[in-house]
Amino acid sequence: MVTRPRLLSVGDRVRFSGREHTVVALSGSLVRLVDDAQDVAVVLLPQLLTVSDFEILSAVPGRPTVSAADLLDGLPEAVVERAEWWQEHLVEMLTGYSLAEPDKPMRGEYDPTVRSLRQREQAKVAELREDGLSVSLSWVQQLRARFEARGLAGLVDGRWQLRPQVTGRVDPRVVAALEQVVADQAERSTVSGAVLRHRMERVLENEHGRGVVPLPSRATFYRLLSAIGSGRHTLGAARTRRSLAKRPDRVFGQVIAARPGEVMEIDSTRLDVLVVHDDGTVDSCELTGLVDLATRTLASAVLRPSTKAVDAALLLARAMTPEPMRPGWPEGLRMTRSVLPHASLLDVDSRLAQSAAVPVITPETIVCDRSRAFLSDTFRRACHTLEISLQPAHPDTPTDKPHIERTLGSVASMFAQFLPGHKGRGTEHRGKEPEQEAVWSIHELQALLEEWIVARWQTRPHDGLRDPLMPGRPLSPNEKYAVLVAAAGHVPVTLSPTEYIELLPLTRRTLNAYGFKINHRIYDGPDLGDLRREYSGSGPDGRRWQVHYDPYDISRIWVRHPRTQDWITVFWRHLRTALVPMGELAWNHARKVLAERGASGEGEEEIARAAAELLERMVTGPDRSPQNRPKRVASRRRSGRVAARTRATTDPAYPRPQASAPADAEQQVQEPEVPEKVADVIPLGLFDPLEDPWRRS
């Protein structure tokens, strides 16, 4: 709706340069202004209209404003006809011309050149009274003022006009108190409207005193609560209310990525599927994913009982490594059968010939939340090593990374809901006994997820992926990747096995004569011969050595050579004792079990045997006999999670450096030593100092 005349005419009152002026003459693009002090100013019309404080205060009668037609949409036809009827009379009164008959000669009583505005208003009142309509002069003047200010919308019956305030005639102090209560409710638990009314009364009493502010009735309060709480979910779910409270009141920003890997987002969430651990216990798992903003490619995703810092770091390795074809996958899932530009990429990495149809993306910037796994030193160092810019989101602001939030939600709806053991996103959506339907282990579910990403996610058209030349057709992540690679000239650089070591957690240890000691384990090897008892020359003190270790494989560590900067693989001294692959989680759990049993010491061999027994027991299954039934359910669940995480990380798809075990360990493993019987063992008796030494036995 236009709120001021669209033409500037002689006689208009305007504000210019902080003062009020009257337009006295118009000549071409020149405007002559006279202020109240009778000072004359001549201004160019373009300059006048572009001044920031320019405003038309009052216009010459006869040029009513034009209102937008959509303001009358939805009103009854009789109400609109009545407003248009008044418009015809007022236009004739102001201008002398009739809207219904423009060619009709002007009537003398409405000629603005010979009749004043008041005379024309009186003539219109007399005319309407002759037609049988009882109106007063003041009423016609009110309609004329509303018509000049708001146009046709000002002539609509006030009972059909929208109220400027949704709170009506309620005391402003009551409105302010209820707005404060509704705002405080955003982070609190959901309560009924009666509780909110009680809180509002307490606020009014504390600020104005008891009985000073009149309280609205119960019906008025609930109408007021509905108006103020509109869009805030005040009486609904607390999770939705908190999410709406975090939504900014400004225009949403948008991050535009022009090439693959320019901006990527990472996050973790609980997957709504129950999995079966190796000991038969049923529990949920966490999904950690990395999505590319430009192509919506789910570059990598892993399932773990709980997300650790090393999982987030190794997730980068999976994104930068070709996804290998798994046994049993259809041939149509190969990259050579997809729309990806595999022909040009084969010259960069020959491994792509045997890989699945998932793009290899090198991240440039990663947006993450402020969870412990993503702000850990391991993940930060991995990003620094790969020259990736890490951008933590604002605290408790999921809108800073909406794409990964929506992607993980899509995985829950498009993948998890089809699996047996689906438990829903909340207790209100959970079935009667979903744990009875769970059949997949976390290792098998990981394989299903990887195949689903290649077969479904990467080939499904995404509504947010549009090409400027074909905006009507949504593209799939693989198609968008092919388009952006051709436009941006992006060539992925895959991760080498040596760079994998840089992503592993780092610790610094002293090199002793027996090797390195990490968490009660000793690592030694022949490659450390000339380096023993030397200082590394790096680090804060220059003494301790830089050691990288894999939390999911404690069989070996990697040490950087101080002169060649190459990586030395050092094996665990008791590798032949515990051949079952294990990680730090299983090792620490075994130490805890020994401590609960009251073991006298925490020897390296004792812990290794206990950890090996734990993993072997999880593989073979629990003993259900009454005498061996565990008494502590929490301990059994903890053991199941330890075994599940160890099993899930035994054979990862990461490019781990290949290194053979020590020769002596392999020999002792393949050919266990069997002690030969040399002679009979004759036990010696105990020495008794009181016994006669010369007595014959």
CB within 8 Å of 228: residues ≥ 6 apart: 166, 167, 175, 178, 179, 182
pLDDT of residue 60: 47
Report pTM: 0.59
Q: Please state the CATH superfamily assignment of the domain spanning residues 264-488 in this structure.
A: Ribonuclease H-like superfamily/Ribonuclease H (3.30.420.10)
In the numeric block, which tokens belong to residue 328? Answer: 């049993």
**Of the candidates 501, 552, 561, the residue with the CA atom closest to the CA atom of residue 525:** 561
* Residue 24 DSSP SS3: strand
| Cα 506 → chain centroid | 29
Residue-wise pLDDT for 153-192, tens only, equals: 788 887 776 555 567 778 889 999 999 999 999 889 999 9
In the numeric block, which tokens belong to residue 675? Answer: 């002690």
Q: Would you state the torsion angle of the CA atoms of residues 295, 299, 303, 309, taken in this order, to the nearest 10 degrees?
A: -110
Q: What is the DSSP letter of 303?
A: E
In the numeric block, which tokens belong to residue 563? Answer: 């002169």
pLDDT of residue 632: 40
Which residue positions in the chain have pLDDT lower than 50? Answer: 1-5, 60-68, 577-581, 600-601, 617-635, 653, 666-675, 684, 686-687, 689, 693, 696-697
pLDDT of residue 319: 83
Residue-wise pLDDT for 494-515, tens only, equals: 666 677 777 777 788 888 888 8
CA gap 79, 411 in Å, rounded:
53
Determine how many CB atoms are found less than 10 A away from the CB of residue 70.
Answer: 8
271 close to 303: Cβ distance less than 8 angstroms? yes
Residue with tokens 């993306």: 361
CA gap 472, 468 in Å, rounded:
9
Residue-wise pLDDT for 337-364, tens only, equals: 888 877 766 666 666 777 888 888 888 9
**Of the candidates 108, 128, 121, 4, the residue with the CA atom closest to the CA atom of residue 54:** 4
In the numeric block, which tokens belong to residue 67? Answer: 């209102």
Q: Report CA-CA distances (Å) from 243 to 239, 240, 372, 374, 497.
A: 6, 5, 22, 22, 42
Residue with tokens 């240890």: 509
Q: What are phi and psi of 109, to 5 degrees?
A: -70, -10
CA gap 165, 664 in Å, rounded:
86
Residue-wise pLDDT for 60-118, tens only, equals: 444 444 444 556 666 788 888 888 888 888 888 888 878 777 778 888 888 887 888 88
Determine how many CB atoms are found less than 10 A away from the CB of residue 516.
Answer: 24
545 close to 509: Cβ distance less than 8 angstroms? yes
DSSP run (H or E) holding 8: none
